[in-house]
């Protein structure tokens, strides 16, 4: 794994994180909330894949989101694996979610918790792998 690949992955995650933050901040009606949830799904995919790429750069292999989260925690790339596992659970729920009340709960977690946590990971990754 090349350092430039890790830097590119972090940049893509940073961009997606910014779009997620904007979507979560602006969402007021059900259609906008659905859009923010979809941005969360996309951003979470980039998040775990960026963790995978960063871990591979350090010589650690993982092949699925749960294992990558566990390895990222063990290797100090993230400092709270429970929140990331909650994110994974919510991402999995959104793929099959047709209940407005449940989607609203997930949206509130995205807005109040996940956006900040993802931004912190982006910052930490950028600091650990400087261009």
Local confidence band at 99 (pLDDT 50, 70, 90 cut-offs): confident
Average pLDDT over residues 102-125: 96
| Residues 85 and 16 sit within 8 Å (Cβ to Cβ) | no
Per-residue pLDDT tens for 31-44?
999 999 999 999 99
Average pLDDT over residues 80-97: 92
> What is the CATH number assigned to the segment(s) 3-128?
1.20.120.330
The pTM is what? Answer: 0.94
DSSP track, 8-44: HHHHHHHHHHHHHHHHHHH--SHHHHHHHHHHHHHHH
pLDDT for 100 equals 82
Distance of CA 16 to the CA centre of its chain: 9
């Amino acid at each position: 794994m090349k350092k430039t690949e890790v830097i590119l992955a972090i940049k893509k995650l940073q961009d997606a994180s910014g779009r997620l933050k904007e979507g979560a901040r602006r969402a007021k009606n059900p259609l906008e909330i659905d859009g923010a949830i979809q941005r969360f799904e996309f951003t979470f995919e980039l998040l775990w894949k960026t963790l995978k790429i960063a871990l591979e750069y350090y010589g650690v292999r993982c092949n699925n989101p749960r294992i990558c989260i566990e390895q990222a925690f063990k290797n100090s790339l993230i400092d709270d694996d429970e929140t990331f596992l909650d994110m994974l659970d919510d991402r999995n729920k959104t793929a099959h979610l047709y209940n407005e009340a449940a989607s609203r709960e997930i949206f509130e977690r995205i807005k109040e918790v996940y956006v900040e946590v993802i931004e912190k990971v982006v910052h930490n990754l950028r600091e650990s792998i400087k261009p």
